[in-house]
Amino acid sequence: MAPDGAELAVALGDRQASLDHPLRAELANELHARPFLRIAGPAAVAHYAIYADGDTAVHGELLGALCRLTGLPAPASDATHYTARWNGDRQFKWERHTEFSTFTFVASRGGNDCFSEHATAHVPSAWFDALENKRFVAIRIELVPGDAAEPARQHPGAWIDRASMVGSRVLGGAQVFSDWTIQPDGFLRFLVIDNGLRQVQSGRLLQRLCEIETYRMMALLALPAARELGMELDALQRSLSPLVRSMDEPHGRDHDAALLARLTHLAARIESLADAGSRFSAARAYEGLVLARIQELREERLEGMPTIAEFLERRFGPAMAMCRTAWLRHEQVAARVARAVDLLRTRVSVAQEEDTTRLLAGMNRTARSQLRLQHAVEGLSVAAISYYVLSLSGAALRSLHAAHYVADADIVEGLLIVPVILAVLFVMRRRRQAGETATGQTVPE
């Protein structure tokens, strides 16, 4: 029986899935992993960024606690994003990032009084108690559309400090106002006037505003590290300068060894400061995200106030420049110390080589003296051995002369002097050559 269309489709799907790399689906779906919320005004938004340095478990624990307290279904244990709804008009979105997590609450709002109703009014207070010392960013956004937007458009200063107000027209159909000041309730405020945005556009705009502030704060985590690093580098440079100057003055070998030890200590201190490098790298990445999010707003100027880009360029830009300068200065000081250590090590090495050369020269002279002494001893040995051999030969010849086997013992003894000496020399040379062959060394003549 031939398979029907449904069975054939399943079989083809299984066949195609077997062709895929195990990571293909996960990486392909990453583009859709963090969808924008659909927001229709009027709406109140509360956004929190949670940062707990070194405590990665707190993000999942806070999400789990929120779900338990509010009755929301629990997310998967390995989830990196989560969305939910209450009663149809309240939305919640959670996202897990590398160093932080975000909680975004959206609630429909009635009336025209902005910032009067809180988007987290339905969240039990027990959950907020768990945020102690972990809330890094807190933002309230009011989205005001249609006819209700006219009072806000005419008088944004009723909710935003006019003296430090920042505002612009964004996405071609909305106005954004803020003073970038933490209010007495602990929140930064954005007032968004909707001039005909679609729900997805509104969600994207509000998320971009939250991301700008969140990434800005994460980037500024490098600022205290830059200040501390600057003070450490000042102290290191004060210690380094006299050491470098003393390198040009001859003080002897002991001084160079002590100086090298001090420079090595400075190098170790500088290397210990390199732990802050990851913080500065993260700051550069966050800065790039802030600038990218601002670019996506497509800002247009509103008369009489700076745009978001201008405000952050004047306030945020110098802080990031200070962080970049601090890390660049660290690299320069580290390179300077490394050069000083290399120069001093070179000088110490040259001095050691000179000592070694002098030592080898002394050893060579000693070896030559020993060789000459050895040759002298060998000469005396030849004479002594030859004398004893001739003495024995003379005694033997005199005995033979007494037995009338030799006519004149003295003449024969005299004739044996040269052969005996040559024979002794030959035997001693052979023994010396045998010793050289056994030890693998050659004794110079």
> Is position 1 within any domain?
no
Same domain, 411 and 304: no
**Helix runs in 111-221, H state only:** 125-129, 149-154, 199-219
Tokens coding 237? 């440079």
Q: How far apart are CA 8 and CA 357, in angstroms?
A: 87
Phi-psi region for residue 48, left (φ > 0), alpha (ψ -120 to 50) or beta?
beta
> Is position 29 within any domain?
no
Flag whether pLDDT at 13 surpasses 60: no
> Is position 368 within any domain?
no
Specify the pLDDT at position 9.
57
Mean pLDDT over the full length of the chain? 82
Q: What is the pTM of this model?
A: 0.75
Region 207-227 average pLDDT: 94
- Class of residue 235 by CB neighbours under 10 A (exposed 0-12, middle 13-18, buried 19+): exposed
Structure confidence by residue, pLDDT tens digits, 322-334: 999 999 999 998 8
Specify the pLDDT at position 286.
95
207 CB contacts (<8 Å, ≥6 apart)? 36, 37, 104
Same domain, 342 and 409: no
Least confident of 129-143, 267-281, 316-330: 267-281
Same domain, 348 and 378: no
Same domain, 142 and 227: no
Q: How far apart are CA 204 and CA 201, in angstroms?
A: 5
Structure confidence by residue, pLDDT tens digits, 88-121: 788 999 999 989 999 999 998 876 677 888 889 8
Same domain, 148 and 121: yes
Tokens coding 226? 């830059």
> Is position 68 within any domain?
yes
Q: How far apart are CA 324 and CA 58, in angstroms?
A: 31
Which of 327, 358, 389 terminates a domain? The answer is 358
In 3D space, the residue among 380, 390, 388 whose CA is nearest the CA of residue 413 turns out to be 390
Same domain, 190 and 69: yes
Structural domain count of the chain: 3
Region 297-311 average pLDDT: 91
Which of 358, 382, 403 terminates a domain? The answer is 358
Region 150-158 average pLDDT: 72
Which range has the top average pLDDT, 27-31, 45-49, 384-388? 45-49
**Domain assignment of residue 428, given as a range:** 373-439
Specify the pLDDT at position 443.
46
CA-based diameter of the chain, in Å? 158
